Amino acid sequence: MALPSTLYDKLIDIHTVCKPVASDQEILLYIDRTVLNEYTSPQAFTGIRNASRSVYRPKAALAVIDHVNSTHPKRTTTSSLQSENIQMSYFEKNCSDFNIELFDIYHKNQGIEHVVMPELGLVLPGLIIAAGDSHTTTYGAFGSIGFGIGTSDIEHLLATQTLPYQKLLNMKINISGEPPAGISAKDIIMSIVRNIGADGARGYAVEFTGPAITKMSIEGRMTVCNMAVECGARVALIAPDHKVYEYLKGKTRAPQNEQMDEAILYWQTLQSSPDAIFEKTIDINIRNIEPMVTWGTSPDQAVPITGFIPNPQKSKDPANQKAMERALKYMGLKPGTKLTDLTIDFAFIGSCTNARIEDLRAAANVLKGRKIAPQIRAMVVPGSSQVRQIAEQEGIDKIFIDAGFEWRQSGCSMCLAMNDDIIAPGKRCAPSTNRNFEGRQGVDSRTHLMSPEMVAAAAISGHLCDVRNMQPTHAF
């Protein structure tokens, strides 16, 4: 009889190539797939060349240009920054030399890696996927393990299809309660990150469970798993269910027909045992949560939109007090200020967290028939070319354009400002992204994370505001 086991432990055991002598040592883990980008891969390819190695399984890798490419409405192979052009050109050469499939900026499937992989059906329950990006945790929404790795690990993975891996502890976050009207998956995960802290899940693989997760759409689950890394989790998981199976049916790279039926029979076994042991369990009821907004320079520095900028003096932790004071100084804020009193300069809808079609529909529901404030520059960057195409077929692009948003091409864009989509020093941005670190959107830029709906509301009003006070004018 098999011992009770968590879903995480089951998948790790299945993929273990070599077990260590001692329990605290690394195992050798087989990796099913990897996705590469132009920013974190160059040194890995250089290392492989210098060692005269080949890529062990080229077909297990997909390469996507997303971090540094221009998102200008008129596609171009060149950027205004020479360093970006060099990165893209070198990436194209590396992929060609090592026979790795590449989605360049003109490819019909180009987009942000964590949007492209799922929409093609390349993320399947039970797989382990590693990539040179920390938000690879997104793939846990499908019952697969996804985690980010550094450049040296990318080289090791390309050369061997394995990685040395230190097993994590298991944490369960059980989410119950019916979310109030106007609450999104982004609000739920931001509330969780705030409650458990930026390091609350460090050293753990987090499995999200509960009725709120069961009712959530697949794209909502991707948002939750995407931002789990912001509370320290290296792995986020949600057990696959019928919603996952339906989402994957018909995806171009997913199993088809009888193979899909066989796959589903296996996927149905991918559940934590009822009596599986989790080293830590957290129960969260979301019936009273509100739309969330960050005020500081870490995703856990967040409060409900109806709240106020907190006072560091009320913190009992000296280290936290110091961090809060630094954040307030950087953000140009004073304790006690109402969030809704903060005016913004930029509004941005995009990123691997919130640039899927559901996100664009939700924002368009708020924007329909309205105009953004005159002092605001606003842009929307669809998560992929496929998302962009669907949005245009539904007329969503016209809603954004009529409201005053720039309708851009796909890419990471203003999430991390590696191209020319940058916030000016001292300016304040309301984005649907995942990180609000110092300088994340440009030198001395000020970032307030929120949901796409909240971004739309802020763009219309010109300041942070509660989207629940703006009745949607349209429904898709």
CB-neighbour burial class of residue 74 (10 A; exposed 0-12, middle 13-18, buried 19+): exposed
AA letter at 73: P
User: Which stretches within 268-395 are classed as H helix?
Assistant: 318-331, 357-367, 385-393
What beta strand segments (E) does 79-153 contain? 101-103, 128-131, 145-148
Q: Which DSSP category does 21 fall into?
A: S
Question: Are residues 204 and 233 in contact, defined by beta-carbon separation less than 8 angstroms?
Answer: yes
Q: Are 410 and 105 in contact (CB under 8 A)?
A: no
Q: What is the DSSP letter of 446?
A: E
Instruction: Find the helix or strand (DSSP H, E) in which 309 lies.
Output: none
In this structure, the number of other CB atoms found within 10 A of the CB of residue 274 comes to 6
Q: Where do the H-state alpha helices sit in 98-161?
A: 113-120, 151-160
User: Please, are residues 48 and 37 in contact by the beta-carbon 8 Å criterion?
Assistant: no
Cα–Cα distances in angstroms (integers) from residue 208 to residues 5, 40, 194, 292, in the given order: 16, 29, 16, 20
* CA dist., res. 281 & res. 167, Å (int): 18
> Is there a binding annotation on residue 429?
no
Helix axes 185-196, 218-227, angle to 10 degrees: 20
Would you say 112 and 416 are in contact if contact means Cβ atoms under 8 Å apart?
A: no
Residue 271 burial class via C-beta count within 10 angstroms: exposed 0-12, middle 13-18, buried 19 and up: middle
**Three-class DSSP category at 397:** helix
Distances, alpha carbon 257 to alpha carbons 32, 50, 160, 179, 394, in Å:
22, 44, 32, 36, 29
Collapse the DSSP code of 22 into the 3-class scheme (helix H, G, I; strand E, B; otherwise coil) and give the result. coil
The annotated binding site for [4Fe-4S] cluster is made up of 352, 412, 415
Where is the binding site, in residues?
352, 412, 415
